[in-house]
Amino acid sequence: MASLPGVPNHQSAESMQSPLLGGYEEDTAAGTYGTQDSGTDGWQERGTFARQLSTLDGFALLISIVIGSGVFTSPGAVDANVPSPGAALLVWLVGGLLAWTGATTMAELGTAFPGEGGIQPYLSYTYGEVLGFLAAWTWIVAVMPATLAILSIVFIESIYSALGLNNSAAQIFHKLLSILVLVVISTANSISTKTSTRLGNVFVAVKLSSIALLMTAGITVVLVYAADHSKDLGGGDWHSRGWFTPRESVLPGGGIFDWTSASGWELLGHYCTALYGALWAYSGWDKANYVAAELSAPSSQLPLAINTAIPTIILCFIAANTAYYLLLPWKAVSTTDSVAVTAITHFLGRRAAIIAAVLICLVVAGSLLGNSFVVGRMTVAAANKTWLPQYLGAVGRLGLGSNSQSREIAEPLTNNVDNLSQEEPKRDAPSNALVLSAILSAMYILFGNFRALLTFNGLGEYTFFFLTVLGDVILRWREPYLHRPYKPVVLVPLTFAIISGFVVVRGAIFAPIQAGILVGVWVVGIGFYSGKKWRAK
């Protein structure tokens, strides 16, 4: 093979591209990788899905996934673990910046390898197929089902909170209703890609409108008080206490925590826990990469979608949390997992809380739709790599059968992208993958709870986010001549790798049970992978 331009003759492309752990080969037949062509759009691949998504679709997908239940439910968990409201807002800012550094690094990888499967191909390319499989296995079996379960639980919990029904999460009827919501969303995603993206765009408008309503309520409180100090429509603390002054926190169980007596190590632990709450709210910042293969020009569209969506989300989250501190007494924020409904109830009364609950349910439904959309793509990519049974890679049909049988449905889409707007939505959804996701998510709903699933989800995600971004740094050293249409400064991935690595270690120490379960998932996955390799011999 000829040497790459600018590379010494003794250093071949093969030697530059060997994975750290070995065992990985490009597989164009499976639709994961193709050939690199700097004259067109970078890395060209043969994918299962048509290139029919725009920059706006990528932007909308990120907004739809990230602005979900987190900003309306996790502020209580963040506030309970920081000494002041000002510190809480800083945690939200740090969490957003961390998400942005991770997302821009993912944009670099996504434009260099715009294939299906998100972080799976990056890990396989850098470390070897075993780690790529393990990431896919963890996302499909643990992380994404847990995410869908959390969102489904929050959907019903918001309704219960608006009706004044508390401590209901353990009731079997509550769980069954959560499963019903999950089934409805999975069914909506099984219609077609166009249907999913159009519904997602509708939910984006609802999400931004909900944030705007909270901001309007907060601004109203400030303006009314500025005009007449005798009128305070909010909680009162916002103008009578220091935003960065340490105060006693009321814990969810009713206890009191005095921040002035906390040691440095104890403070660090609480701040890490608070950051977990914020990172859950920002969860989904990586998901645009999972549809990079469906963008018509990923090298330009993916970075643009990420670098417009993430700053928008950061501003929305900080504005919403500021509004909570304006609308509520500060001691109330840490004691609720439905802070948005609580804030609107305090501001406008019970009837308005029902309206707020409806809006939040629509927001959560949009996040459910986006996450369900993505997990189907993850499963198809893994099946195309033969990591999972082939029938899970089928699109446009439900039942047993390989992806090759359904590819004839997807290929006409590729050849007729320009005519899609004049045609009815085609059945190109990964139905088998969506059924698997719904079944696993229902099991998490039945046997899990919000707090435990939240920590479990974070540990699973950030372990592989850390490895992926670290891999980006390794590739910059190992393959400096790799075509990278988008390349942020190296400080960006380094910052994410250092902070996320610390968050993973600290989280595992803080939650050993969830960490142990995650290790168990990995052990089972490695056994599954080894068995498949053994049977293939």
Query: What domains, with CATH codes, occur in the chain?
Result: 52-536 (1.20.1740.10)
CB 434 within 8 A of CB 372: yes
d(CA 457, CA 440): 14
Give the residue among 491, 508, 495 at the shortest CA–CA distance from 466: 495
Q: Which helix (H) or strand (E) holds 496?
A: helix 491-510
Give the pTM.
0.72
Q: Please, which residues bridge with residue 518 across strands?
A: none
Q: Distances from the Cα of 255 to the Cαs of 250, 287, 330, 351, in angstroms?
A: 6, 38, 15, 31
Nearest to 483 by CA among 471, 475, 492: 475
Averages of pLDDT over runs of 10 residues in the chain (537 residues) are 38 42 40 39 47 69 75 85 93 93 87 71 88 90 90 83 63 87 81 58 71 88 90 87 85 71 79 84 76 66 84 92 92 80 80 78 79 81 82 72 48 41 54 87 86 83 92 92 88 91 83 90 92 75
In three-state secondary structure terms, 37 is: strand
Q: pLDDT value at position 327?
A: 92
Measured CA to CA in angstroms, residue 287 lies from 61, 167, 364, 479 at distances of: 8, 32, 16, 25
Q: What angle, rounded to 10 degrees, do the helices at 193-227 and 350-384 form?
A: 150
4: which strand partners? none
pLDDT given at position 17? 43
DSSP string, 182-249: HHHHHHHHTS-HHHHHHHHHHHHHHHHHHHHHHHHHHHHHHHHHHH-TT---S-SHHHHS-TTS--EE
* Residue 380 vs residues 290, 296, 491: alpha-carbon distances, Å: 11, 20, 34
